[in-house]
Amino acid sequence: MGFTKAELESYRDAVVPDLLPEDGQPLRLLFVGINPGLWTAATQSHFARPGNRFYPALLRAGIVPRPIDASAGMTEEDRDELRRRGIGITNVVARATARADELTPEELREGGAQLRDLVARRRPTVVAVAGVTAYRAAFAQKKAMAGEQPERWGDSRVFVVPNPSGLNAHETVASLATAYADAARAAGVLGEAPQP
């Protein structure tokens, strides 16, 4: 599947629905992107841009059992696999842009407040925000570093993990997998049970 530049531009400001387990089903690990890119909006599938390393990192970490190629749009089987494992995906800001740096600080703060509301309602074991710069802006944590954060959101542990975008060139699939596996272990999705 491919799109022309004009086709992608037509998806600017579109919204991609959250991918969450059904109400009443456990949400163990909530991955949070900054906002949807235009390719993601076009396919209605999170982290869908060709070359995005999110799903390869999930596979390498053992979080998913088989490859997921979201670039042509996720299949219902892919979505169900994530939901069954208690994994959800959302964004700090809902509107699609070509680049995350098109977002305003106000949008990031407002989106951060809405994310906190979602977390209060769905109570994931772990929230994993992909991108330290966006985390700092959205949650007024100017000195935040990657990894588990000292603050919990209610009962939810909060991790800042690397953004899987190809623009984040110093990260590799292996380094992303390591960070995502840490959050997944804390959530009880991988290996050891979550800490109380």
Annotated domain spans of the chain: 5-187
Q: Which phi and psi (to 5°) does residue 10 adopt?
A: -70, -15
**pLDDT in the model for residue 191:** 75
Instruction: Give the strands of the sheet with 157-161, arranged side by side.
Output: 87-91, 29-33, 126-130, 157-161, 147-148
**Which residues make beta-bridge pairs with 129?**
32, 160
Reported as a single tens digit per residue, the pLDDT across 178-192 is: 999 999 999 999 975
Mean pLDDT by 10 residues, the chain (196 residues): 90 96 94 96 95 95 95 94 97 94 93 96 97 92 95 97 82 96 96 50
Sequence-ordered list of residues with C-beta below 8 angstroms from that of 139, at least 6 positions apart, any chain: 112
Q: What is the model's pTM?
A: 0.94
Which CATH code, of 3.90.1150.10, 3.40.470.10, 3.40.190.10, 3.30.390.10, is assigned to 5-187?
Answer: 3.40.470.10
DSSP code at position 169? T
**pLDDT in the model for residue 170:** 83
**pLDDT in the model for residue 194:** 44
**pLDDT in the model for residue 26:** 94
The three-point CA angle 184-147-67 to 5° equals 35
3-state secondary structure 2-32: CCCHHHHHCCCCCECCCECCCCCCCCCEEEE
**pLDDT in the model for residue 168:** 72
Length reported for the chain: 196
Sequence-ordered list of residues with C-beta below 8 angstroms from that of 145, at least 6 positions apart, any chain: 132, 160
